[in-house]
């Protein structure tokens, strides 16, 4: 088998070879949208149920074909759970874990498919599968760090805006109270009370 064919074999990765589970969502599907706790629990339960069905569907196969089918079934379950976790938590780390789960699932299927080869062809196949996984994990880490940095920057900006607003309010309050000094008696007391109410002072 030529190196080109081997490369195509790896990149195909998850183009399932007729396993009954093939009809389910592909491993490269996008992560789920943000979800509630109930939706998350339901997604996890659904993934476990689907895995059992996929696993049973693999039982009619034999040899390496069965191993590939089982790797695909297991990969789909892990991806579905990781996607649910990412959708539920909505954090950069959870999204990274989802991408890592997808990379590892792809690798496990590709490695099983490499078992159909032998000698140097098999060695190259495994190395290429591993390289693909390493690259995917590296990309996931870069995106996670970028997202963390962006969120951290947004939080710092929000905090700076909050502090600035407080400082401006304090400055305006001091001006208002200073103006009250021109008054006396009840008028001054009312002026100060109004200023406190207007600027949120106790």
Q: Using pLDDT thresholds of 50, 70 and 90, give the confidence band for residue 33.
A: low
Query: Do residues 87 and 124 share a domain?
Result: yes
Query: Do residues 103 and 9 share a domain?
Result: yes
Query: Do residues 164 and 148 share a domain?
Result: no
pTM of this prediction? 0.60
Work out how many domains the chain is built from and give that number: 2
Query: Do residues 9 and 86 share a domain?
Result: yes
Last-in-domain residue among 152, 168, 188: 152
How much is the average pLDDT of 181-202? 91
Q: Assess whether pLDDT exceeds 70 at residue 29.
A: no
How much is the average pLDDT of 140-165? 84
Residues 6+ apart with CB under 8 A from 19: 54, 57, 58, 61, 68, 69, 72, 73
Q: Locate tokens 């539920």: which residue? A: 88
What pLDDT does residue 16 have? 40
Query: Do residues 70 and 48 share a domain?
Result: yes
Q: How far apart are the first and last CA of the chain?
A: 81
Residues 66-105: tens digit of each pLDDT: 999 999 999 999 999 999 999 999 998 999 999 999 999 9
What pLDDT does residue 10 have? 40
What pLDDT does residue 86 have? 94
**Does residue 1 sit in helix, strand or coil?**
coil
Query: Do residues 65 and 26 share a domain?
Result: yes
Query: Do residues 52 and 11 share a domain?
Result: yes
Over the chain, what is the mean pLDDT? 83
**Could you list the residue range(s) of the whole structural domain that residue 177 is in?**
158-198
Query: Do residues 190 and 93 share a domain?
Result: no
How many percent of the chain have pLDDT more than 90? 57
How much is the average pLDDT of 10-24? 39
In whole angstroms, give the CA distance from residue 52 to residue 55. Answer: 5
Query: Do residues 100 and 23 share a domain?
Result: yes
Query: Do residues 82 and 172 share a domain?
Result: no
DSSP 200: T
Q: Assess whether pLDDT exceeds 70 at residue 124.
A: yes
* Between residues 195 and 156, the one the model is more confident about: 195
Residues 45-67: tens digit of each pLDDT: 999 999 999 999 999 999 999 99
What pLDDT does residue 81 have? 97
Query: Do residues 41 and 94 share a domain?
Result: yes
Query: Do residues 193 and 132 share a domain?
Result: no
């Amino acid at each position: 088998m030529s190196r080109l064919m081997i490369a195509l074999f790896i990149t195909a990765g998850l183009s399932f070879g007729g396993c009954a589970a093939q009809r389910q969502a592909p491993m490269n599907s996008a992560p789920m949208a943000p979800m509630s706790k109930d939706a998350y629990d339901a997604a996890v339960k659904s993934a476990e149920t689907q895995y059992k069905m996929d696993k049973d569907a693999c039982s009619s196969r034999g040899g390496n074909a069965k191993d590939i089918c089982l790797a695909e079934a297991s990969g789909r379950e892990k991806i579905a759970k990781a996607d649910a976790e990412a959708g539920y938590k909505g954090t950069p780390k959870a999204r990274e874990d989802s991408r890592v789960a997808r990379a590892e699932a792809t690798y496990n299927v590709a490695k099983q498919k490499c078992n159909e080869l032998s000698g140097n062809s098999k060695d190259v196949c495994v190395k290429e599968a591993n390289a693909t996984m390493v690259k995917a994990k590296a990309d996931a880490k870069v995106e996670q760090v970028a997202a963390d940095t962006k969120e951290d920057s947004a939080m710092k900006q929000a905090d700076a805006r909050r502090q600035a607003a407080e400082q401006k309010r304090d400055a305006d309050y001091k001006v208002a109270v200073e103006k009250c000094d021109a008054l006396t008696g009840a008028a001054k007391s009312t002026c100060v009370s109004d200023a406190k109410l207007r600027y949120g002072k106790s």
